[in-house]
Copies of this chain bind each other. A is one copy, B any other.
């Protein structure tokens, strides 16, 4: 099992560690110290050696940070974690509602003029520190330091050191050397001599490698410098990279050599202000090397999957769909008997995925929420919150797998027994949004922001909505959340062929039920139609039945109903050869026309 359901922290651990940190702060001459959740690579998951926030405070959410002074220890968390933080941290910590309260004003409120605030420059991006400096002005001094938490973290785990493995060309679709030449051309075109790469998925994509350094996200933690002549310097334990084999264009050196290598560059060097640690730009500035601020050059090319990656995604999704169908058939058989819990379901689902014998990892912690727990958007079931799935309740399951040929992410909402009219109406409105995105076709310059409303219009008309984006980018056997593509009110990057996205509208009634329906989709050039304008549309990758017991057929437009029936026919066609027995019988029933 990849996923466990036991708590990894407890509130009692915090106060003595907080006291030790405050002593270290005092000793080093700092009045405050910032403890982010991030590591130097700004990813969603961090290795145990970088779980400083959880170690110090007990809070295990996937986003947040702490600001520690001698008098107050603020734990900044967003709306998702308001309840969780109360259960996880001791009274010595003060939860702060972020982003309503921002760090700068909070520091100004709690500190005297002239106080010194320490931060680890490897754990904060340039943009983050620049924003904070603007907010505190001359009143406080922000000073970079070695990490004070690490000084007092005696039993800190060693950094991960899993071997890298090659992402075969069959799945990657483009040779690493060709990618490097392509990225180098971008740098040359911009008049830049090199780019600093600090995002593990950029580096893994560029070098066609994958790793096991952190859970859920099959990357190697490393830094890299891409030169405008297409050579790469890679910084991480050299022993990790035996699988790469020797390449005269790739120099591998320990991570400890990274800083020194930066000082030897000639400018202008491209640095991404949103993702690179501010330590990088500080080192370059100290060495008087010109910085060219710009996006990590790999981000956009990585987002636009090539034919091999799309073919891999199709196959990974069908394999995953077969596991989902087995799970759904099992669920429909077991749930009505009563007694099934959220953990039982999550465990069974992981078992079906593992049964494909190709599962490398799950792609994120499964969200398995029954009844009111389904309304908690980022719910993670633990032994403490585990709930039986009851008759008449909705059950929401959001999960995915990492396969060599692709990353999946799917949500289905199921009913046990007979749904209420209200559940049916809300489900149908969510489904209408999901169909609107699935069938969307649009001119080439359209971005996520321009179509987000299509997913919400049916809910909006009924005075309903959901407080999250409609879709996020998804990597190719990489991060299940990747940019720059997304579908949301703040998504300004135009869609391009090959971008994989989720399509996941939802509706959440607090204390009652949660609904979300999610397929992955990939942007493609639309077929010739109508006036043959240069349009893009989405190919659906996910083929798993949608619970037809929750659909109000009489609310649908004829074309929406056609879409459901056509979708289910394709599901049956594509997946029936991959399941047997009861699962096959269930599939045939679940995909009948409505």
Contacts and interface: CB of A to CB of B under 8 A. Distances in A.
A528 interface: yes
A111 interface: no
Contacts of A554: 558
A440 B465 contact: no
Nearest to A560: B557
B465 A533 contact: yes
Contact of A454 (B441, B453, B459, B557): B453
B531 A464 contact: yes
B555 A558 contact: yes
Contact of A439 (B449, B461, B509): B461
A529 B462 contact: yes
Q: How large is the interface on A (under 10, 10 to 19, 20 to 34, 35 or more residues)?
A: 35 or more
A460 B557 contact: no
Interface in A105-142: none
Contacts of A459: 530
A549 interface: no
B556 A463 contact: no
A24 interface: no
Interface in A380-405: none
Interface string A442-471: 110110011111101101111111000000
Nearest to A442: B460
A353 to B, nearest CB: 34
Interface in A171-214: none
B464 A530 contact: yes
Interface string A516-537: 0000000000101111110100
Given A441-B461, A454-B454, 5 more contacts: A440-B453, A450-B452, A463-B532, A555-B557, A557-B560
Contacts of A559: 461, 555
A342 B310 CA distance: 54
A386 to B, nearest CB: 28
A362 interface: no
A436 B509 CA distance: 25
A156 interface: no
Interface string A488-512: 0100000000000000000001000
Interface in A462-488: 462-465
B463 A440 contact: no
Interface in A553-569: 554-560
A442 B453 contact: yes
Contacts of A555: 557-559
A509 to B, nearest CB: 8
B558 A460 contact: no
A494 B554 CA distance: 34
A532 B560 CA distance: 27
A200 B536 CA distance: 43
A463 to B, nearest CB: 3
A441 B464 CA distance: 10
Contact of A453 (B451, B461, B529): B451
B453 A528 contact: no
A463 B557 contact: no
Given A450-B489, A453-B450, A557-B560, A535 B460 contact: yes
Nearest to A450: B453
A203 to B, nearest CB: 36
13 contacts: A440-B460, A442-B456, A445-B489, A446-B453, A446-B489, A449-B449, A449-B450, A450-B489, A463-B530, A463-B533, A463-B535, A465-B533, A555-B557
Contact of A529 (B451, B463, B535): B463
Contacts of A464: 530-531, 533
Nearest to A429: B530
A554 B557 CA distance: 9
A534 to B, nearest CB: 10
A441 B453 contact: no
Closest 4 CB pairs of A and B: A463-B530, A463-B529, A557-B557, A464-B530
A141 B398 CA distance: 64
Contact of A443 (B450, B454, B465): B465
Nearest to A464: B530
Contacts of A450: 449-450, 452-453, 489
A493 to B, nearest CB: 15
Nearest to A458: B559
A345 B440 CA distance: 39
A533 B528 CA distance: 41
A188 to B, nearest CB: 26
A271 to B, nearest CB: 28
Nearest to A552: B558
Given A453-B446, A556-B557, A558-B555, A460 B489 contact: no
